[in-house]
Amino acid sequence: MTPARPAPDFTALFSARARRMNASAIREILKVTQQPDIISFAGGLPAPELFPLEEVRRAADAALTRYGPAALQYSTTEGHPPLREWIGARAGIPAANVQIMTGSQQALDLLGKILISEGDTVLVEAPTYLGALQSFQPYGPRYVQLPTDDGGIDVDALAELLQTTPAKLLYAVPNFQNPTGRTLDAQRRRRLVELTAQYGVLVIEDDPYGQLRFSGEPAPSLYELGLEYAGDVEANHILYCSSFSKTLVPGLRDAWVQAAAPIVSKLVQAKQGADLHTPTLNQMIVTELLDEVLPRQIETVRRAYGQRAAAMLGHIGEQFPGGVQSTRPEGGMFLWVTLPEGIDSTRMLERALSRNVAYVPGSPFFALGGGENTLRLSYSSATPEQIERGIAALGETIREALD
Amino acid sequence: MTPARPAPDFTALFSARARRMNASAIREILKVTQQPDIISFAGGLPAPELFPLEEVRRAADAALTRYGPAALQYSTTEGHPPLREWIGARAGIPAANVQIMTGSQQALDLLGKILISEGDTVLVEAPTYLGALQSFQPYGPRYVQLPTDDGGIDVDALAELLQTTPAKLLYAVPNFQNPTGRTLDAQRRRRLVELTAQYGVLVIEDDPYGQLRFSGEPAPSLYELGLEYAGDVEANHILYCSSFSKTLVPGLRDAWVQAAAPIVSKLVQAKQGADLHTPTLNQMIVTELLDEVLPRQIETVRRAYGQRAAAMLGHIGEQFPGGVQSTRPEGGMFLWVTLPEGIDSTRMLERALSRNVAYVPGSPFFALGGGENTLRLSYSSATPEQIERGIAALGETIREALD
């Protein structure tokens, strides 16, 4: 080789879009917390010891036998027909209104890609799912934060906002939200659906956790309410995303969107350019698991996460000083802690790590900033013993910060 | 349900980007040609009867045993470390310069996403791979077509063009190009690498077929020449994409990019927003197959495609009327037919279908139009008998069109 020439200035060649992308704050934190002696409540990982490993092994085998080489060939962009049919039947809509996606993350990316022009107003919960912000960000949205409380989005504030602020999209995680674990109140759901319909705002309903309710009463999805309101699948303004990542396993990357035909057909065009199709075998594996394994697995996960959430809340009650508040999730994987004003959870993280416990500071979940005194805890993949020791260590850390 | 309300005007809400997306012309044609009695040279499918089905079955089993639940868990955006290491070692570069992708289509999409700002000039072969146009199109490039001949891109024309036209990117398929089957001449490769380096143009080298050479002498990749020219992996201006879709199986969607660190780290950010990571199990399956199955499989596919190409060219020589020209590919899956001027291959398709043979008209492969008298034939997944009958039927169709 000749001596090295100067490198091209790659970053100067990046698109305007690329300049809006950032390294995920959480990702950087997670790297630190992967050291073996750290008890991490930081990640958002489903419990791997609950994965139906042998069932997936048999399903892969069965799919390869059933479909032969077709299980490994290119397949349609829309998705594996029996999988779309099952999803459609469960939702009471035609399979044609179901689009398979390579994980919910792709659903968010491609919905953002086909809908968000630079400067379009996108309404998001404060706080909201960080991955959605990462998907939408390159497309140049203007975020407006919606205030939330323990019942989810404050719909009175939404009504007031819509009177003066034309918006294209509202993004929400109504069930056991990431990061807060909160659930949108049933009455508010109806009002949100009506308001957004009346103001011509499309709603992206992100529902990865809906099946993982371990207490309380299920509320209808925004999609179901939108269908009821509109009277027809083609008039429903709710775009529903869900996934098998939290109910079965995340590593196969199988998810879907339910939406009206014009949205689905534009998603098909977008997905052709993005990855042609979701891996064929993976869709067939999931399809093999739908009837027997999925319901059983949902029960297993619900029960386990319910116990872990209860354990964490119990220890929080005992170990955290007064003035610290926590949400009480009825499902999902996360709870949300609000520290007394003035404590900065980002600065506190270093002290927590020195006590071998990790969490994610809350502020990255706010599209426009805020929440410096909040943090997210995940209970999904921690053992009872880790929960006990970790919450005790976190309690000490908070007490120290209060001094 | 209440009577249906009017549907929202979804298409009016599409982003400017979405308006640039189109249904693939080929996709629409392929739908027609899937009728069972049609001999289709239209698709670009690898031969499914050659897929290492049992080996994939065993590899899935082995990966699930070796990694347990981790084979089904979320994994890193960069990709499965042993797979990145193997690819890096083969290319003589660090694993850190390898990014795993969910199919080459994702590589093209995310490279377009991070590099193409609206109005940026992208140089493409005339004709070029349609899937690349589909990936780039939403990002608003201004295409400039490079003239090509049997040795690939005309580098003298490129040199002249670069004197007056500032370009950001050049996209090329140097080996057995889709759609023409042509290979870029070795001397021209060197010149192309030097010219683009001197003018500060990044090159996306798309190389899905490079391993599938069945005659002639291999030429170094643009990436290798770029490395030689630059003297260092971090100064190489070639961004190399390849895939296991054509050498192993396409349905697992495993591909990769080799590039300098700033490109890889921006691709990581883009991929986090796009699909988080390529399915974990799929990367592990491919990794299990690298040492023994992949080399054997490449030999099998090479031999079969070589025989099929020879058979197709033989029948073309016998059956097509004078004045019809065909490329003579030395590898890959496609050849390219140029009809006498004045015959429109799009209009001729209906007559071909009435004789139960299908192809893809050439004009959609031209970013800026042209090639109305050209067409693409795929020999990869046709039997000798289908090739004989199909080429005879196509010969009759052409003769009829000439009358």
Residues of chain B found within 8 Å of residue A109, distances taken between Cβ atoms: 273-275
Chain A touched by B79 (CB under 8 Å): no
Chain A touched by B198 (CB under 8 Å): no
- Pick the closest to residue B377 from B37, A74, B393 (CA basis): B393
Phi then psi for residue B345, to 5 deg, are -70, -25
Query: Rounded CA gap, B377 and B34, in Å?
Result: 15
Chain A touched by B202 (CB under 8 Å): yes
pLDDT score at B384: 94
CB contact under 8 A, A138 and B70: no
Of A21, A46, A103, Cβ closest to residue B270: A21
What is residue B245's DSSP assignment? T
What is the per-residue burial (b if ≥16 Cβ within 10 Å, else e) of B173-198? bbbbbbbbbbbbbeebbbbbbebbbe
Of A64, A235, A268, Cβ closest to residue B7: A235
Distance from CA of B297 to the nearest CA of A (A): 14
Half-sphere CA count of A9, side-chain side, radius 13 A = 4
pLDDT score at A219: 97
Phi then psi for residue B3, to 5 deg, are -60, 150
Amino acid, single-letter form, for residue B214: F
* Residue A209 · residue A331 · CB < 8 Å: yes
Q: Is the Cα torsion angle B124, B130, B134, B135 positive or negative in sign?
A: negative
Strand, helix or coil for residue B355? coil
Kindly tell me if the per-residue pLDDT of A61 is higher than 60. Answer: yes
Of B18, B71, B228, Cβ closest to residue A114: B18
CB contact under 8 A, B53 and A61: no
For the beta sheet containing A255-258, the strands, ordered from the edge strand earlier in sequence to the opposite edge, are A98-101, A255-258, A238-243, A202-206, A169-172, A121-125, A142-146
Residues of chain A found within 8 Å of residue B24, distances taken between Cβ atoms: 269, 272
Chain A touched by B19 (CB under 8 Å): no
Amino acid, single-letter form, for residue A306: G
Task: Report the chain B residue with the minimal C-alpha distance to residue A5.
Answer: B230
- Interface size A-B, in CB pairs within 8 Å, comes to 309
Strand, helix or coil for residue A40? strand
Pairing of strands A152-153, A148-149: antiparallel
| Helix (H), strand (E) at residue A229 | helix A222-230
Distance from CA of B107 to the nearest CA of A (A): 8
**Which residues neighbour B216 within 8 Å (Cβ) at sequence distance 6 or greater?**
B183, B330, B331
Query: Rounded CA gap, A102 and A94, in Å?
Result: 21
Pairing of strands A374-378, A360-361: antiparallel
- Pick the closest to residue A274 from B137, B39, B262, B312 (CA basis): B137
Query: What domains are there in chain A, each with its CATH number?
Result: 16-51+295-402 (3.90.1150.10), 67-290 (3.40.640.10)
Query: Rounded CA gap, A85 and B341, in Å?
Result: 48
Mean pLDDT of A166-189: 98
Q: What is the pLDDT of residues A271-285, one digit of tens each?
A: 999 999 999 999 999
- Its ipTM equals 0.96
Q: Residue ranges of chain B with pLDDT lower than 50?
A: 1
**Structural tokens at position A300:** 């297993």
CB contact under 8 A, A106 and B275: yes
Per-residue pLDDT band at A19 (split at 50, 70, 90)? very high
Task: Report the chain A residue with the minimal C-alpha distance to residue B25.
Answer: A269
> CA separation (Å) from B346 to B21, B27, B386?
21, 14, 22
CB contact under 8 A, B279 and A229: no
pLDDT score at A2: 59
What is residue A216's DSSP assignment? S
Dihedral angle, C-alpha B101, B107, B111, B112, nearest 10 °: -130
Distance from CA of A341 to the nearest CA of B (A): 32
Burial class (CB in 10 A: 0-12, 13-18, 19+), B253: buried
Chain B touched by A111 (CB under 8 Å): no
Chain B touched by A234 (CB under 8 Å): yes
pLDDT score at B2: 59
What is the per-residue burial (b if ≥16 Cβ within 10 Å, else e) of A111-124? bbbbbbbeebbbbb
Of A2, A53, A70, Cβ closest to residue B72: A53
Distance from CA of A372 to the nearest CA of B (A): 24
**Structural tokens at position A33:** 């917390």
CB contact under 8 A, A69 and B51: yes
CB contact under 8 A, A114 and B17: yes
Q: Is the Cα torsion angle A351, A354, A359, A365 positive or negative in sign?
A: positive
Chain B touched by A17 (CB under 8 Å): yes
Chain A touched by B229 (CB under 8 Å): yes
Query: Rounded CA gap, B344 and B342, in Å?
Result: 6
Mean pLDDT of A199-224: 98
Residues of chain A found within 8 Å of residue B245, distances taken between Cβ atoms: 74
Task: Report the chain B residue with the minimal C-alpha distance to residue A52.
Answer: B69
Residues of chain B found within 8 Å of residue A301, distances taken between Cβ atoms: none
Query: Rounded CA gap, B360 and B377, in Å?
Result: 7
Kindly tell me if the per-residue pLDDT of A1 is higher than 70. Answer: no
Query: Rounded CA gap, A168 and B334, in Å?
Result: 44
Query: Rounded CA gap, A383 and B55, in Å?
Result: 37
Of A18, A46, A231, Cβ closest to residue B2: A231
Mean pLDDT of A194-206: 98
What is residue A367's DSSP assignment? T
Within 10 Å of residue B354's Cβ, how many Cβ atoms? 10
Q: What is the pLDDT of residues A233-258, one digit of tens each?
A: 999 999 999 999 999 999 999 999 99
Q: What is the pLDDT of residues A143-155, one digit of tens each?
A: 999 999 999 999 9
pLDDT score at A28: 72
Check whether the bond before B250 is cis (ω within 30° of 0): no
Chain B touched by A131 (CB under 8 Å): yes
Chain B touched by A252 (CB under 8 Å): yes
Task: Report the chain A residue with the minimal C-alpha distance to residue B104.
Answer: A275
